[in-house]
């Protein structure tokens, strides 16, 4: 059956049907407000709020379907994209599913370097990548290799114990499975994580851009927090160096003309050092907003546990203006902060105009 001809008005989006990336992909779709219900017996789910059909496929097959133009978008591992060797556009590194494709040998064996495996038996699920790797080791761009590369579809770590292989090449996340099998790493072929990929000829480029922007917003909300603080104008230049934001910080005047309010996105991994530095230069009233904090605040405002599902932009902007100002007695700067950050967190689009700013 030609799937494309039966879904002519829908963008086809392939996601892993099972495995290490499956649940994190579902969480990402949920955070991006891509709503769907999937029957357990079906590998196709129609989205309720977008002209999109989700296609659940093995992660290893997704690069081929995207590269050959059968589907428009896909989520899979960088390792699978490299193994397929097809021309796809990598849109976003999603930051999860991180692992390494490593050469592993028996811990108590004779092999200590990958070069010692030349001419030996190597088992893997990544024949293409492993062949390229050993061609470099053997310095043999073409022709038959001395190393014998054998394919298995799963349980690669058992190959050495069964006498099938002298070494293996497989994905390693924590390394516990390999250690339990009595293996140790001697080299890394590549590092990988989940990526959003697109066909070079998508059926609906505008919708691809919309979904990409939503996912990028969700990733940013996980990676960043929003830091709001007050600082004297005399120290503003130094403060901006500490919190430059992704593009530039938002600076708002306070009633005291010698002071301003600043809001800026800060990476979570450097948050503690950033706050220390802000205090050193005289910043006060430092407030940090994270995705979880905002979700809890919205639940408190709406009085329900599913407040994050209320994604209508005007409703969110109005509530951030009226409820936050009433609850915190917030200045125009703090109200603007709430509205702007909620727009990032929930992938809203106010058309470039923040109602909180215009109303304050």
Q: Is the dihedral of CA 239, 240, 241, 245 positive or negative?
A: positive
Per-residue pLDDT at 331 exceeds 60: no
Q: What is the mean pLDDT of the chain?
A: 83
Same CATH topology for 3-94+194-203 and 99-192: the answer is yes
Delimit the domains of the chain by residue range. Answer: 3-94+194-203, 99-192, 222-359
Which CATH class name applies to 99-192?
alpha beta
Q: What is the mean pLDDT of residues 204-228?
A: 92
Cα–Cα distance, 227 to 330 (Å, whole number): 15
Lowest mean pLDDT among 15-24, 196-205, 208-217, 287-296: 287-296
β-strands 183-192, 224-232 pairing: unpaired
Name, in order, each residue with C-beta under 8 angstroms of 176's C-beta and a sequence gap of 6 or more.
none
Backbone angles phi, psi at 125, to 5 degrees: -100, 0
Architecture field, domain 3-94+194-203: 3-Layer(aba) Sandwich (3.40)
Higher pLDDT, 356 or 128: 128
In which band, very low, low, confident or very high, does the pLDDT at 152 lie, cut at 50, 70 and 90?
very high
In which band, very low, low, confident or very high, does the pLDDT at 154 lie, cut at 50, 70 and 90?
confident
Alpha helices, H only, the chain: 3-6, 22-31, 62-67, 78-84, 127-138, 176-180, 205-223, 236-242, 271-280, 291-302, 313-328, 332-345, 355-359
Cα–Cα distance, 46 to 67 (Å, whole number): 22
For the question of whether the overall pTM of this predicted structure is more than 0.85, the answer is: no
Cα–Cα distance, 310 to 307 (Å, whole number): 6
Tens digits of residue pLDDT in 274-291: 999 999 999 999 998 876
- Identify the CA nearest to 243 among candidates 218, 277, 217, 216: 277
Q: What is the mean pLDDT of residues 281-306?
A: 65
Cα–Cα distance, 134 to 148 (Å, whole number): 10
Per-residue pLDDT at 316 exceeds 90: no
Check residue 3 and give its pLDDT: 58
Structural contact between residues 320 and 294, judged by C-beta atoms closer than 8 angstroms: no
Cα–Cα distance, 198 to 63 (Å, whole number): 9
In which band, very low, low, confident or very high, does the pLDDT at 221 lie, cut at 50, 70 and 90?
confident
Check residue 289 and give its pLDDT: 83
Cα–Cα distance, 182 to 71 (Å, whole number): 41
Q: What is the mean pLDDT of residues 330-350?
A: 42
Query: In percent, how much of the chain has pLDDT > 70?
Result: 79
Q: What is the mean pLDDT of residues 65-72?
A: 95
Architecture field, domain 222-359: 2-Layer Sandwich (3.30)
């Amino acid at each position: 059956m030609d799937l494309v001809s039966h879904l002519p008005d829908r963008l086809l989006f392939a996601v892993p049907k099972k495995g290490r990336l499956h649940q994190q992909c579902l969480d990402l779709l949920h955070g991006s407000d891509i709503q769907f219900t999937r029957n357990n017996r079906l590998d196709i789910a129609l989205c309720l709020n977008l002209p999109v059909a989700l296609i659940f496929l093995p992660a290893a097959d997704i690069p081929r379907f995207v590269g050959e133009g059968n589907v428009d978008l896909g989520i899979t591992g960088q390792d699978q994209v490299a193994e397929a060797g097809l021309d796809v556009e990598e849109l976003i590194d999603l930051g999860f599913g991180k692992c390494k494709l490593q050469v592993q040998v028996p811990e108590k064996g004779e092999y200590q370097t990958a070069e010692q495996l030349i001419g030996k038996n190597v088992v893997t699920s990544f024949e293409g990548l492993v062949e390229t790797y050993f061609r470099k080791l053997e310095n043999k761009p073409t022709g038959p290799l001395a190393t014998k590369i054998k394919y298995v579809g799963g349980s690669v770590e058992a190959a050495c114990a069964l006498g099938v292989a002298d070494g293996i090449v497989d994905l390693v996340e924590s390394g516990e499975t390999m250690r339990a099998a009595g293996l140790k790493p001697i080299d890394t072929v590549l590092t990988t994580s989940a990526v959003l990929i697109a066909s070079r000829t998508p059926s609906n480029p505008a919708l691809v851009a919309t979904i990409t922007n939503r996912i990028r917003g969700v990733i940013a909300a996980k990676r960043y927090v929003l830091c709001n603080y007050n600082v004297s104008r005399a120290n503003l230049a130094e403060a901006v160096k500490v919190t430059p934001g992704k593009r530039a910080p938002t600076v708002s005047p306070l009633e005291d003309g010698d002071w301003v309010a600043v809001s800026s996105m800060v990476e979570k991994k450097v948050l503690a050092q950033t706050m220390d530095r802000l205090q050193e230069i005289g910043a006060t009233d430092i407030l940090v907003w994270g995705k979880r904090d905002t979700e809890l605040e919205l639940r408190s405002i709406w009085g329900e546990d599913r407040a994050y599902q209320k994604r209508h932009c005007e409703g969110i902007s109005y509530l951030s203006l009226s409820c936050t100002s009433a609850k915190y007695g917030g200045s125009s700067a703090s109200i603007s902060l709430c509205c702007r950050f909620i727009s990032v967190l929930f992938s809203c689009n106010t058309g470039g105009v923040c109602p909180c700013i215009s109303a304050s």
